[in-house]
Amino acid sequence: MGRRTVTRAEAEDFLYREALLLDEWRLDEWLTLFEEGGRMEVTTTDWNGWDSSSAGAFMCDDYGLLKARVKRLKSRKAHAENPHSRTHRMISNVIILEQGDETAWVAANFIIHRYRDNQEFTYVGRYEHVLLVDDEGLRFRLRRSIPTMETMAPGARLSFIL
Amino acid sequence: MTQLTHTDPGGTPNRSLVHEDWDALTFKVHRSAYRSPAVFQKEMSRIWGHTWLYLGHETEIPNPGDFKSRTLGGRPLIFCRDSSGKVQVFFNACTHRGTILCRHSEGNTKFFQCFYHAWAFSNSGELAALPGDEAYADVPGFKERHRLRSVPRVDSHEGFVFISFDPRVPDLLTHLGEAAHYMSLTAKIGPQGMQTVPGVQLYSVKGNWKLAVENAMDGYHFAPTHNTFVGYLRETGFAVTDDDQYAYDLGDGHGLLILTGHNGRIGMVWEPRFGEAEKERTAAKRQEMEERLGKELATEVADASRILFVFPNLLLFDLEALTIRQIEPVEAGRTDVRAWQFVETGEPDEVRALRIKTMVSFVGPGGLATPDDIEAYEAVQRGIEATAGSADPAYDWSDMSRGMANEKQGNQGRSIDEGAMRSFWRQWSRRVEGAPALDTALDTALDTAPGA
Ligand code: FES
Ligand SMILES: [Fe+2]
């Protein structure tokens, strides 16, 4: 595999494409952005840097749960997302924080507007992902969303992928 | 009880919004109970002003000086452990001119200092210092009169701290009644005790608080609402059953579902998604529990899952793993929710990780199940607008009569019936619609609050 340098442009392309897949609810394609065994976390709003295995979280999916989540969200019986929310993601402030032999640690800011039932919800936060870097491109080893809000606003549940 | 004629209960405060008829076997709740700001105001006064409320768990503030600031019944409070180790609960308002004294959500301190004029209070409430005190007559007396205000009653059971804004409520254990026993069962799971961990789920739903209570006491919704979650469990090798699951009225509005075979229980009832290592540990832990508690008690603690509702604001989920959920009504159509993971103290890291992963995958606004519950409360809150003031007043009632025939025959109510909801609503009606036995200045203040 060997070490290669990830540019900010490459990380941006990856994150923008992910946002597109999520906004279009192309969840099977989205799942392929994870390496086998990849994980996803959404921290609580009181998060203080602690490890997800020792503290509560909003989401803490291993690969099995991630697959189950995608399957659920594709079902008409995922009532919270039937009909699907409309989401509109803006990603910016992309930074390669650190790069190792196999992985890159990438941070970005996000604003996600979600619309459903004639209501609007705004989710603001930061991503801190660990991406596997290989010749094929980038994939999530750990996809982590860190909400900036102090609490989830009324109606602002996390029934979709943050 | 005979059927009364209700034309417009929402508009006529003397008529009950809860309608029970054991001849016709009907139980109905008028939908204004979820919509009306006037009803909400009455609840805040008659319930929140006069009963024990769950505030938090002692393990949230383990060390002297630890504090959390938290709003309960709309009142900002400081929940702290003073330097001597005693749990204190203060109104979070400076005694000088009312400024929020502590503006941090958590921390550790010996003194709470108001930024406005720099009065400083010790963590046991004494007014320790005020700048320029020579301008006050009788400084010691003045300081004593301006101690930090404590809530009138604070008490705890198994580490669960409750408060009351009314000093005349009965003892906490009297209030908890049979619910105390079930809290004790949960407290016995861990050989070194149980504790909360950081990572608190703070969220808010656009639904009346009573919808959140009903939902938790409602086994009927589980299969249809959580279809995708049940499907996920099936794929992991576990078949959920609704058989052998019962609802209990614990009196005074407290309710309990006991669910056998509904799900595994980490460390107590194994299921395939917990993994092979956990299978062995479960057998060993059961051994430990039997030695520590005796076989009978160990069985009661371990075998069945429980969802306990302690009237009016605590839900204790003792399922695959454990969650403490606190309900804070904000307005008729909005409820803030706070949820803590509740874990065994000193358990191995991998068990802690499994516990959190498993519980978070089910409950909370990002789980595979709770979002559908939230969808339910919110869809009810939107739906009940449809029949408000409708031409046929009979349309504006919700039905909760499921299982009444069975109950009338004297059988234990099933979790998939609506008996636990009925006991909640009976208590609600006694508190909100009954004679206000404990009327105080507080009620007058709440009832006449501007903008209420
Ligand atoms: S209001 Fe707090 S010191 Fe004046
Ligand atoms: Fe549910």
| Distance between CA atoms of residues B55 and B33, nearest Å | 25
- Tell me if B187 is assigned to some domain: no
pLDDT at B168: 96
Q: Which of B273, B368, B380 to mutate to test the interface with A (most CBs of A within 10 A)?
A: B368
**Beta strand segments in B345-452, E:** 397-399
| Distance between CA atoms of residues B215 and B223, nearest Å | 13
Residue nearest atom 1 in ligand 1 by C-alpha distance:
B97
- Tell me if B167 is assigned to some domain: no
Total residue length of chain A? 162
Contact status, residue B189 vs residue B203, Cβ threshold 8 Å: no
pLDDT at B142: 97
pLDDT at B263: 85
Q: Note the pLDDT tens digit of each residue in B21-35.
A: 999 999 999 999 999
Q: Note the pLDDT tens digit of each residue in B64-117.
A: 999 999 999 999 999 999 999 999 999 999 999 999 999 999 999 999 999 999
- Tell me if B211 is assigned to some domain: yes
This prediction's pTM: 0.94
| One domain for residues B32 and B78 | no
Contacts of B205 in chain A (CB under 8 A): 154-155, 157
Rounded average pLDDT over B7-18: 60
pLDDT at B400: 97
CATH of residue B103:
2.102.10.10
- Of B117, B127, B148, the one to substitute when testing ligand 1's pocket (max ligand atoms within 8 A of C-beta) is B117
The CB-side HSE value for B433 (13 A sphere, CA atoms) comes to 19
Q: Is the pLDDT of residue B17 over 60?
A: yes
Residue nearest atom 3 in ligand 1 by C-alpha distance:
B117
Q: Note the pLDDT tens digit of each residue in B256-273.
A: 999 987 789 999 999 999
| Distance between CA atoms of residues B23 and B45, nearest Å | 33
- Closest CA of chain B from A95, distance in Å: 26
Question: B376 at the A interface (CB within 8 A)?
Answer: yes
Q: Is the pLDDT of residue A42 over 60?
A: yes
Q: Which of A152, A160, A161, A162 to mutate to test the interface with B (most CBs of B within 10 A)?
A: A152
- Tell me if B168 is assigned to some domain: no
Q: How far is the CA of B362 from the centre of ligand 2 (A)?
A: 9
pLDDT at A2: 52
| One domain for residues B13 and B68 | no
Q: Is B148 in the pocket of ligand 1 (CB under 6 A)?
A: no
> If you ran DSSP here, which 8-state letter would residue B265 be given?
B
- Between B279 and B452, the more confident residue is B279
Q: Is B117 in the pocket of ligand 1 (CB under 6 A)?
A: yes
Q: Note the pLDDT tens digit of each residue in B298-310.
A: 999 999 999 999 9
Q: Note the pLDDT tens digit of each residue in B153-172.
A: 999 999 999 999 999 999 99
H runs (alpha helix) in B154-221:
172-176, 179-187, 209-216
Among all ligands shown, which has an atom nearest to the Cα of B224? 2
Q: At what angle do helices B227-236 and A63-74 cross, to 10 degrees?
A: 140
Domains annotated on chain A, with CATH: 8-147 (3.10.450.50)
Rounded average pLDDT over B411-415: 92
pLDDT at B7: 39
CATH of residue B416:
3.90.380.10
Q: Across the strands, what pairs with A89?
A: A112
Residue type at B218 in one-letter notation: D
Contact status, residue B357 vs residue A60, Cβ threshold 8 Å: yes
Which of A55, A77, A156 lies at the smallest CB-CB distance from B199? A55
Mean pLDDT of chain B: 92
Looking at B103, B133, B157, the residue that finishes a domain is B157
Least confident stretch, A3-12, B216-225, B441-450: B441-450
| One domain for residues B275 and B371 | yes
- Tell me if B130 is assigned to some domain: yes
- Tell me if B327 is assigned to some domain: yes
- Tell me if B177 is assigned to some domain: no
| One domain for residues B121 and B146 | yes
Q: Is the pLDDT of residue B134 over 60?
A: yes
Contact status, residue B285 vs residue B191, Cβ threshold 8 Å: no
| One domain for residues B46 and B60 | no
Q: Is the pLDDT of residue B9 over 60?
A: no
Q: At what angle do helices B276-293 and B295-302 cross, to 10 degrees?
A: 140
| One domain for residues B236 and B378 | yes
Looking at B157, B186, B215, the residue that finishes a domain is B157
Looking at B108, B134, B157, the residue that finishes a domain is B157
Q: Is the pLDDT of residue B42 over 50?
A: yes
| Distance between CA atoms of residues B45 and B58, nearest Å | 27
Residue B222: is it exposed, middle or buried by C-beta count within 10 angstroms (0-12/13-18/19+)?
Answer: buried
Q: Is B94 in the pocket of ligand 1 (CB under 6 A)?
A: yes
| One domain for residues B317 and B399 | yes
Q: Is the pLDDT of residue B143 over 90?
A: yes
Percentage of the residues of chain B whose pLDDT score is greater than 70: 93
| One domain for residues B4 and B131 | no
Q: Is B97 in the pocket of ligand 1 (CB under 6 A)?
A: yes
Q: Is the pLDDT of residue B8 over 50?
A: no
Nearest atom in ligand 1 to the alpha carbon of residue B101 is 2
Nearest atom in ligand 1 to the alpha carbon of residue B117 is 3
| Distance between CA atoms of residues B413 and B258, nearest Å | 11
Nearest atom in ligand 1 to the alpha carbon of residue B94 is 2
Q: How far is the CA of B110 from the centre of ligand 2 (A)?
A: 42
Q: How far is the CA of B101 from the centre of ligand 1 (A)?
A: 8
Q: Note the pLDDT tens digit of each residue in B191-223.
A: 999 999 999 999 999 999 999 999 999 999 999
Confidence of residue A4 (pLDDT cuts 50, 70, 90): confident
Q: Across the strands, what pairs with B414?
A: B246
Confidence of residue B243 (pLDDT cuts 50, 70, 90): confident
| One domain for residues B75 and B212 | no
- Tell me if B191 is assigned to some domain: no
Nearest atom in ligand 1 to the alpha carbon of residue B119 is 3
Least confident stretch, B198-202, B378-382, B390-394: B390-394
| One domain for residues B150 and B212 | no
Q: How far is the CA of B403 from the centre of ligand 2 (A)?
A: 19
Q: Note the pLDDT tens digit of each residue in A13-40.
A: 999 999 999 999 999 999 999 999 999 9
Among all ligands shown, which has an atom nearest to the Cα of B369? 2
The CB-side HSE value for B49 (13 A sphere, CA atoms) comes to 21
Domain housing B102: 56-157
Q: Is the pLDDT of residue B326 over 90?
A: yes
| One domain for residues B115 and B233 | no
pLDDT at B440: 52
Q: Is the pLDDT of residue B2 over 70?
A: no
Q: Is the pLDDT of residue A85 over 80?
A: yes
- Closest CA of chain B from A70, distance in Å: 10
| One domain for residues B105 and B75 | yes
Among all ligands shown, which has an atom nearest to the Cα of B257? 2
Q: Is the pLDDT of residue B436 over 70?
A: no
Percentage of the residues of chain B whose pLDDT score is greater than 90: 89
Question: B229 at the A interface (CB within 8 A)?
Answer: yes
Confidence of residue B3 (pLDDT cuts 50, 70, 90): very low
Look at chain B and report how many structural domains it folds into.
2
Look at A155 and B378 and tell me if their CB atoms are within 8 Å. yes
Secondary structure element (H or E) that encloses residue B282, with its range: helix B276-293
